[in-house]
A = this chain, B = another copy of it.
Amino acid sequence: MGRWEPNAGGRLARAALVLSAEKGYEATTVAEIAAAAGVTERTFYRYFPDKADAVFPDNRELLVVLAGVVEDASRTGQSPLDAALVAVHRLATYASEEPERARLSAMVIPSVPALAGRELVRQRQTSEALSGGLAAAGVPRLEAQLAAESALAVWRVAVAEWARDNWSQPLPEVVTATAEAARTLNRG
């Protein structure tokens, strides 16, 4: 055993999300989060570059996975847009694996501008991962970017629909339905 309780980063992330849900993100200070996790404020900043990052799970691995998914889908002959939508569906499945966390995040993030901005930056990284995967499968750059952005557009609308429904339906199903609606829109 170490000199301190292990998994300080995990305790900090959990404390950040729980406290933010309880009393609001902005009303929660880093000092409180650190105290709840049993460390000092300085240690918090050794695990997270800033306060917002504590409520966002690190998803760099996920981006790599998604890039691979979209690349494979594209190689099987699906259109760039369909391939990107496969990856978005995978993203929904991933989010569904921790439904409680997803729901908490969905409730906390939109009401806080700083977090909303961070979330959108993350979406942009996702977009880049998707277009990168398509490009790796040989799709021309412009086409790849458009497909990725269009798929993310479906994602945003789907998440909004999901919230409108008080998060009652499974997110992957909402994504599938929204993607179908988008297809109809583009054909009509």
Residues of A within 8 A of B (CB): 79-81, 113-114, 116-118, 120-121, 123-124, 127, 142-143, 145-147, 149-150, 152-154, 156-157, 160-161, 178, 181-182, 185-186, 188
* Cross-chain contact of A117 among B80, B117, B156, B185 (Cβ < 8 A): B117
A85 to chain B, nearest CB (A): 13
A186 to chain B, nearest CB (A): 4
Closest 4 A-B residue pairs measured CB to CB?
A117-B117, A120-B120, A149-B153, A186-B186
A51 to chain B, nearest CB (A): 12
Residues of B contacting A181 with CB < 8 Å?
A: 142-143, 146
Instruction: State whether B120 touches A145 (Cβ < 8 A).
Output: no
Besides A120-B124, A150-B182, 14 other A-B contacts (C-beta < 8 A): A113-B118, A113-B121, A120-B120, A142-B157, A143-B181, A146-B157, A149-B156, A149-B157, A150-B150, A150-B153, A150-B185, A152-B153, A153-B153, A186-B186
